[in-house]
Structure 1
Amino acid sequence: MKKPVLLALCSFATLASLAQPTSKAEVAKRADAIEKKIIAWREDFHEHPELGNHEFRSSEIIAKHLESLGIEVKRGVATTGVVGILKGGKPGPVVALRADMDALPVTERTPVPFASKVSTTYMGNQVGVMHACGHDSHMAILMGVAEVLSSMKANLHGTVKFIFQPAEEGLPPGEKGGAEQMVKEGVLENPKVDAVFGLHIQSYQPVGTISYRPGGDMAAVNDMQIVVKGRSSHGAYPWSGVDPIVTSAEIINSLQTIVSRNLHITANPAVVTIGAINGGNRQNIIPETVTMLGTVRTFSADDEKMIIERVKQIVTKTAEANNATAEVKIPYSAHYPVTYNNPDLVAKMLPTLQATAGANNVILRQAETGAEDFSFYEEKVPGIFIHLGGLPKGGDPVKAPAHHTPDFFIDESGFTLGVKALCNLAIDYMAMGK
């Protein structure tokens, strides 16, 4: 009787091990096995980019892939967003994983065979369209995560919610979308999300690495519109009018004193930038109006409040001193909060990242003045936003093509690390319980 019992015990142990394929080694094996698929998805998305709230082709590809895995799918969230729900075989927390889908109005200049040839009309102008920030990579990586985790469904201790989000890069004035709209439409409810994880690939960070930062990781952003109104006159007789161009020049210079003279720069950085100025159409006519567009980046609510107040004060008082008038709209069309990684959650999950990538490949990063609307999820639930290396091995970070430019380039060999990281974050968090 002993031998049959022993055989039965051995068989049970074998079945148990097969029934629990959630080790990091197993995740790595399954991720590596679909690397070619992930790269193919990315190259297809790259060749067929779509602007925010127009990601119709991309979202349909994603939805069909999730459905093919047996994942419950909801289409049309915040216009073109896709949400997938994977219920594990065991009870536990709900983890959300997010990827953004939109491209940018940038004409591609890279020599890759899958370069975008797409063009469209944006804000009244004919523009090229390009995945110049890596969102094509994010979609492909999260599709890979969905494939790996769905194959482990029976042994997941909880539920995974896959969020494929449109319009992260912002929208023209008057349109709604992005993470803020997805939150408003209940993406973090039914079932209620306990933690959210996301990633962003970086062209200047070495492939094979992950970087992170507890607390404020990326800046809050407010865009602004400044309209300066003077009185038009002949360019030869400026004394007969009120020059809004000279007034605007004074405003631009004075705005730079906010960071240099009003901000406690040893505590937090900030940026005040004017990125566009439009006024006049002829060399000998002083125009009536000048319109400026700009951005404010901050890392604390107090700094944000102070800078906004100072911007309004400088603009209106400088205009008044020049006998002009000025109006400030801030935010004008977009406001993103600080991308704030919950420090307790970071401490809890850091060992997972180190075990996934190797401790030497997990890097504490500096705060960045770029912004991310992942912050809207993190306002509601604890979250971590990590950064994935996309710079080819041996490449110079200083010479890496910047994000949002025609030459933006990503090394695809780092994609599976992103898949492994998101899979392991979800699995380990769920296994720990709330």
Structure 2
Amino acid sequence: MVSTFPNSAADLSRVRLSIRSLQAQLVEWRRRLHQKPELGFQEKLTAEFVSQKLQEWGIEHQTGIAKTGIVAVIHGNQQLKASNLKSKVLAIRADMDALPIQEQNEVTYRSQHDGVMHACGHDGHTAIALGTAYYLQQHRQDFAGTVKIIFQPAEEGPGGAKPMIEEGVLKNPDVDAIIGLHLWNNLPLGTVGVRAGALMAAVESFNCTIFGKGGHGAMPHQTVDSVVVAAQIVNALQTIVARNVNPIDSAVVTVGELHAGTKRNVIADTASMSGTVRYFNPALKGFFSQRIEQIIAGVCQSHGASYDFKQWELYPATINNAEMAELVRSVAEEVVETPLGIVPECQTMGGEDMSYFLQEVPGCYFFLGSANPAKNLAYPHHHPRFDFDETALAMGVEMFVRCVEKFFS
């Protein structure tokens, strides 16, 4: 993955003038959304703003899908080259929700909602999707097909993609393919991360409570120390990836929380832990939960403890269709400078519920570099000082528009 950053802003000469002229408007929309962040399935103000703009531009759209989701439909006016060809449908997905984080940025557009912040770039995604909708509506003569723009709630959890699919967002008319992007501060401004196959990981979570026998810290022989049991479990879980997973398959098992005890001289009777599992290979689905519980059960049995274990799947792996990834890559060559501009090895163990859309129809999810350390815009995602170089907004619209034109050509 590219780790170097440019010292100057990205060259926008490859962005057409009609899209560059939208830059100021894109920034205004993004900053307005940034000031009014909302958590998953609570994006009422965001949805109202999106709907207002779509209505203003005369774009057909439906609201209230999966509570706060919106889908806009734009029909191209260009005639099909052959009368017997079926008009195709391409979907574009953008997520709208924010995170429960207190913003620390000292900017004029900082969050006005205490404890809630757009710390992952979804405000930018929504602005890019709005800009794309506006441009396509004004240039319907340039494509022969239908574009569905999906404004999705709750990507950060519990997940809005699946309920939108269940409510028919990919139907009537049926979607043939889908694309989406993520502004990415792990890549420099002026780059695009795109690859066929797995881009982002499957995500599973687990909770476990260990039940021992408490007692005095000076008399451990009278107890079953839940802290000792939990500590051995944490260590043992690290052997799953090291010794049970094919080294070619990347995977992660992380215990992120461990709680036990109330006083230094009291042996705790219970200990609780929670963690996350990440992997790319869909064949590993179900393996980790089984192996984790086997290890927990074995350690507990050896110490005379018992346990309660719960596991659940959050999102499957985000897997790009090879043909659609090639389409995006070819468009990126037209929008950004190469070879630095295109980053094929851009996988991350982060998860995304765009994965549910990609399980239903062929598509491609890609990263649009947005970091610029020269402007102090390189904090990582989910950081209270996260922000990105807004130059990326026009580049995002250009990427989407060219993808639409190439898909229908």
Q: Tell whether the structures are fold-level matches, with TM greater than 0.5.
A: yes
Match of residue 420 from structure 1: 398
Partner SS, residue 157 of structure 1: coil
Residues 331-379 of structure 1 show CA distances to partners (whole Å, capped at 9, x for unaligned) of: 1xx4211110111222244222211224432221232111111000000
Match of residue 405 from structure 1: 383
Q: For residues 304 and 328 of structure 1, what CA distance do their matches in structure 2 show?
A: 17
Match of residue 296 from structure 1: 277
The match for 1:131 among 84, 107, 118 is: 118
Are 1:113 and 2:108 matched, yes or no?
A: yes
Partner SS, residue 110 of structure 1: coil
Letter in 1 for 2:63: R
Q: For residues 234 and 26 of structure 1, what CA distance do their matches in structure 2 show?
A: 71
Q: For residues 282 and 39 of structure 1, what CA distance do their matches in structure 2 show?
A: 53
Residue 137 of structure 1, CA deviation: 0.7
Partner SS, residue 138 of structure 1: helix
Match of residue 35 from structure 2: 47
Aligned residues: CA RMSD: 2.1
Match of residue 9 from structure 2: none
- The answer (yes or no) to whether the contact 1:49–1:118 under 8 Å persists in 2 is yes
User: What is the percent sequence identity of the aligned residues?
Assistant: 38
Residue 305 of structure 1, CA deviation: 3.5
Match of residue 10 from structure 1: none
Match of residue 278 from structure 1: 259
Structure 2 unmatched ranges of 5 or more: 1-12, 81-86
Match of residue 249 from structure 1: 231
- The answer (yes or no) to whether the contact 2:15–2:395 under 8 Å persists in 1 is no
Partner SS, residue 75 of structure 1: strand
Residue 154 of structure 1, CA deviation: 3.5
- The answer (yes or no) to whether the contact 1:224–1:330 under 8 Å persists in 2 is yes
Q: For residues 239 and 67 of structure 1, what CA distance do their matches in structure 2 show?
A: 72
The match for 2:354 among 361, 365, 374 is: 374
Q: For residues 166 and 99 of structure 2, what CA distance do their matches in structure 1 show?
A: 24
Residue 35 of structure 1, CA deviation: 0.6
Residue 301 of structure 1, CA deviation: 2.2
Letter in 1 for 2:394: T
Task: Tell me the TM-score normalised to structure 1 length.
Answer: 0.85
Partner SS, residue 330 of structure 1: strand
The match for 2:323 among 335, 338, 344 is: 344
Task: Tell me the TM-score normalised to structure 2 length.
Answer: 0.90
Q: For residues 41 and 349 of structure 1, what CA distance do their matches in structure 2 show?
A: 25
Higher helix share: 1
Structure 1 unmatched ranges of 5 or more: 1-24, 120-127, 172-176
The match for 2:20 among 21, 32, 40 is: 32
Match of residue 198 from structure 1: 180
- The answer (yes or no) to whether the contact 1:231–1:287 under 8 Å persists in 2 is yes
Give the total of aligned pairs.
Answer: 390
Match of residue 14 from structure 1: none
Letter in 2 for 1:61: F
Letter in 2 for 1:335: L
Larger radius of gyration: 1
The match for 1:67 among 52, 55, 66 is: 55
- The answer (yes or no) to whether the contact 2:14–2:334 under 8 Å persists in 1 is no
Residue 242 of structure 1, CA deviation: 2.0
Partner SS, residue 103 of structure 1: coil
